[in-house]
Amino acid sequence: AQSNECKRRKVKCDGEEPCSKCVRYGTSCQYPPPPQTLSPSPVHDELSPTSDQLASPASSFQTKQTHITEANFSTSEFCGPSSSEFTLNMVSGNLRAMGIPVTIPDRATAEIEGGPSDMSSRLAQYGPFMKLIVKDPLWGLNREDAAEDIDRWFQGTGVLYPVVDQAKLLQTTRKVFDAMDNARSHGLRNGAALVESLFTDDTNKLKLILAAGRTYRNGGRCDQAQKLLQSTLESIEGVLWNANTLNNIQLMLLMALYYYHLDEEVRTGRIIGFAARLCLEMGLHRRAVIDAFATDEERGDALRTFWCVYMLERRTSLGQGVPFSIQDSHIDPSLFRIGANDPFDSALLDWTKLAGKVWEALNARGEKEVEVKTDELDFLDYQITQWYDRLPEDLKLPRPGPEQGETATHKQAVLFLRRSHLQNLIYRPVLQTASRITQYSHYALSATRIAKDSLQTLSRLNQSTPLIGRNPVFFKHLLLTAFGNLLLAVVNASSMFCDSVKVEFDIALDLIRVLSGGSPLLMDLWKRLQGLGKLRAQLVRGSSPALEANSGSARDETSLADDSSDALLFDELLPHLPLDPGLLNMMELPGDVVGMTMVRDQMNGLFDFPAARGGGPFDGPFGTNLTWD
> Who's near 306: CB < 8 A, 6+ residues apart?
279, 284, 285, 290, 335
What gap in Å lies between CA 357 and CA 372, rounded to an integer?
16
139: confidence class by pLDDT, cuts 50, 70, 90: confident
- 127-320 maps to which CATH number? 1.25.40
546: confidence class by pLDDT, cuts 50, 70, 90: very low
> Who's near 343: CB < 8 A, 6+ residues apart?
391, 392, 395
More confident: 253 or 398: 253
> Who's near 337: CB < 8 A, 6+ residues apart?
none
What gap in Å lies between CA 1 and CA 4, rounded to an integer?
10
197-206: pLDDT as tens digits: 888 899 999 9
Q: Lowest mean pLDDT: which of 141-145, 275-279, 416-420?
A: 141-145
Backbone phi, psi, residue 516, to 5°: -65, -25
For the chain, give every domain's residue range: 1-33, 84-108+353-607, 127-320
Classify burial at 522, counting beta carbons within 10 Å of its beta carbon; exposed 0-12, middle 13-18, buried 19 or more. Answer: buried
Rg (CA), the chain: 29
State the chain's mean pLDDT as an integer: 74
613: confidence class by pLDDT, cuts 50, 70, 90: very low
Closest CA to 232 of 126, 121, 122, 131: 131
- Going from the C-alpha of 181 to that of each of 132, 141, 175, 363, 389, the distances in angstroms are 22, 12, 10, 55, 52
What gap in Å lies between CA 182 and CA 193, rounded to an integer?
10
Is the pLDDT at 544 greater than 70? The verdict is no
Is the pLDDT at 603 greater than 90? The verdict is no
Q: What is the model's pLDDT at position 185? A: 80
Total residue count of the chain as it appears in this document = 629
What gap in Å lies between CA 495 and CA 123, rounded to an integer?
52
Torsion of CA 201, 202, 206, 211, to 10 degrees: 10
What gap in Å lies between CA 405 and CA 384, rounded to an integer?
27
181: confidence class by pLDDT, cuts 50, 70, 90: confident
What gap in Å lies between CA 357 and CA 359, rounded to an integer?
5
More confident: 240 or 39: 240
Closest CA to 605 of 501, 492, 495: 495
**Angle subtended by helix axes 343-364 and 410-431, to nearest 10:** 10
> 88-93 long-range CB contacts below 8 Å, 24 or more apart?
88/484, 88/525, 88/528, 90/432, 90/488, 91/484, 91/487, 91/488, 91/491
Pick the most confident of 338-352, 401-415, 453-467: 453-467
311-348: pLDDT as tens digits: 999 999 998 889 999 999 999 999 988 756 789 999 99
- Which alpha helices (H) appear in 75-117, and where do they start and end? 84-97, 107-111
Contact 146/224 with Cβ under 8 angstroms? no
Q: Superfamily for 1-33?
A: Zn(2)-C6 fungal-type DNA-binding domain (4.10.240.10)
What are the beta bridge partners of residue 619?
625
Is the pLDDT at 627 greater than 60? The verdict is no
What gap in Å lies between CA 208 and CA 522, rounded to an integer?
24
- Going from the C-alpha of 519 to that of each of 66, 322, 524, the distances in angstroms are 25, 21, 9
Dihedral sign, Cα of residue 501, residue 398, residue 521, residue 253: negative
